[in-house]
Chains A and B, each alone.
Chain A
């Protein structure tokens, strides 16, 4: 099965990426050694979100298991731009697949600093702008408002020729409106969904379970929400869409493709199975074959009625 695809100029062996912040290559190497690269589970790798200053993340508890999913309240721990560029980034560029770096900032000026610094490094294939992480107060503002999103893109667009991907939040009434604003401002691609705002109560202590009060829901529990939003966004914009939200296997990946996604990302399932990306790719090939498709591109050209 020919799974090759092209995502805003980036040639990919297949459509399966990881969701930002759901797979740490450097930590995984400590657990699996060279076996990781020999079986690399994704056709492009999206880094965890990098911010200007280093962040240590939210206080525990950071996780809560829900029916068919989980809430995370991690708080974007990362080494900060300077240390990332001098350290982890060099390792990530050596991966056998294209690298997309995710960045987040609390102002357009700071976003510009990040984008310029990352774009200056050879070997980066694209930049994802995290304007939607519900764990961080500043992240919500831009991605919730079409005008803010468009203004941010107008600031960043002239700074680089690299593809700019806007990660959309599901925590809005109409993500397609924000997607259109991103497109107008010059975005090359949108990815969705980020996690759905959620919390968990600790009834014995009369407070929320999560250290930061709340977090974001992910996993199969959000898949129907994600499918509806991907479908709405894909029909509202001409730029490609990376679809994600509870993908666990080839069948659920195909759902996103048929909803209009050019590529898909696996997130929470990586936690349950480190090789989930490989399994989703294999499963997608079988799912396409069962339906008589000869290639991924053929499925992507077919319209959903």
Chain B
């Protein structure tokens, strides 16, 4: 049974940026949303920096799909936080947002994460696997699960220590296990090494895995879970023009043939719904 999704106000709305700061190798900024409902973990917004988004070079032109990293406050004065990694002209502009600026948002959009019992009736716990900028949707998911009493283990992986800066902000002192490719702290290697240990353990049968991160990591997680018969939900990424099912651009191949639209059928999908998690890759 798919998780219920909050509905977005129709159209886009201008929100004030109430905070913005570098956080590790990324930038974290907050907007004050006075109209929208609280998003469910895994949902995303389409963001456009102010009315002058289309700059001298003509790009960025389309809004950018960014998942929510943290939510606070109540509808009417909801604070939405977004974690930005600069990968192109759109994220470069979002990265320049400062307190007091305005940001157009539309959303929340998309299919959120399910509770473990919605995926598997006898599930007893959750394992969260986040990598790089993909830790963003894992943070609200963890809070959501913990607040419902779901035993939750969180595994996060990074290139290096600099890129793990947001862990403290988003996960606080909650228990997380970290992996660094450069061995600067925690486990030296991939976050999937940590997952492998859990999947080899006796208690894996009751677990549901949730993951977001680079496509290669997601595909490794998807395969490992498939081999162990452990259900997994993945938050995927794809180039996307609209976020609400209009453009048909974010096509991801389905197992049974054809495509799903990541914006309305995802961004959270079950590992066994898709043929590969290597979306957005060339």
Interface string of A1-45 (1 = CB under 8 A from B): 000000000000000000001111011101111011011000000
Q: For residue A48, which residue of chain B has the nearest CB?
A: B248
Instruction: Give which listed residue, B245, B251, B279, contacts A31 with CB less than 8 A.
Output: B245
CA distance A133 to B47 in the complex (A): 30
Instruction: Give which listed residue, B10, B62, B258, contacts A32 with CB less than 8 A.
Output: B10
CA distance A34 to B12 in the complex (A): 16
B1 to chain A, nearest CB (A): 16
B167, CB-defined interface residue at 8 Å: no
Contacting pair B7 A74 (CB below 8 A): no
A95 to chain B, nearest CB (A): 15
Contacts of A220 in B (CB 8 A): 54
Contacting pair B11 A274 (CB below 8 A): yes
Contacting pair B248 A68 (CB below 8 A): no
Count chain A residues whose beta carbon lies closer than 8 angstroms to a beta carbon of B.
Answer: 47
Query: A77 with B248: in contact, given A31-B264, A221-B58, A275-B12 (CB under 8 Å)?
Result: yes
Contacting pair A56 B57 (CB below 8 A): no
Contacts of A62 in B (CB 8 A): 239, 248-251
Contacting pair A68 B61 (CB below 8 A): yes
Number of chain B interface residues as a range: 35 or more
A70, CB-defined interface residue at 8 Å: yes
Interface string of B237-254 (1 = CB under 8 A from A): 011111111111111110
Q: Which of A38, A61, A70 has the most C-beta atoms of chain B within 10 angstroms of its own C-beta?
A: A61
Contacts of B222 in A (CB 8 A): none
Query: A60 with B251: in contact, given A23-B246, A31-B244, A68-B54 (CB under 8 Å)?
Result: yes
Query: A24 with B60: in contact, given A68-B54, A275-B10 (CB under 8 Å)?
Result: no
Instruction: Give which listed residue, B10, B48, B61, contacts A69 with CB less than 8 A.
Output: B61
B267, CB-defined interface residue at 8 Å: no
Contacts of B54 in A (CB 8 A): 68, 220
Interface string of A60-74 (1 = CB under 8 A from B): 111111111110101
Contacting pair B7 A27 (CB below 8 A): no
Query: A24 with B246: in contact, given A62-B251, A274-B106 (CB under 8 Å)?
Result: yes
Q: Which of A62, A70, A204 has the most C-beta atoms of chain B within 10 angstroms of its own C-beta?
A: A62
A286, CB-defined interface residue at 8 Å: no
Interface string of A259-293 (1 = CB under 8 A from B): 00000000010111111001000000000000000
A205, CB-defined interface residue at 8 Å: yes
B109, CB-defined interface residue at 8 Å: yes
Q: For residue B7, which residue of chain A has the nearest CB?
A: A33
A63 to chain B, nearest CB (A): 4
Q: For residue B104, which residue of chain A has the nearest CB?
A: A273
Contacting pair A31 B109 (CB below 8 A): yes
A202, CB-defined interface residue at 8 Å: yes
CA distance A205 to B282 in the complex (A): 8
Instruction: Give which listed residue, B241, B244, B248, B252, contacts A28 with CB less than 8 A.
Output: B244
Which 9 residue pairs are nearest across A and B when measured between Cβ atoms? Answer: A27-B245, A67-B58, A275-B11, A63-B249, A271-B242, A271-B241, A35-B10, A33-B7, A56-B258
Q: List 23 A-B contacts (CB under 8 A).
A: A21-B248, A28-B245, A28-B246, A31-B7, A31-B244, A39-B11, A56-B258, A59-B251, A60-B238, A62-B248, A63-B249, A63-B250, A67-B57, A67-B61, A70-B62, A70-B241, A72-B247, A202-B282, A205-B282, A220-B54, A271-B247, A273-B12, A274-B106
Binding site for B on A (CB under 8 A): 21-24, 26-28, 30-33, 35-36, 38-39, 56-70, 72, 74, 77, 202, 204-205, 219-221, 268, 270-275, 278
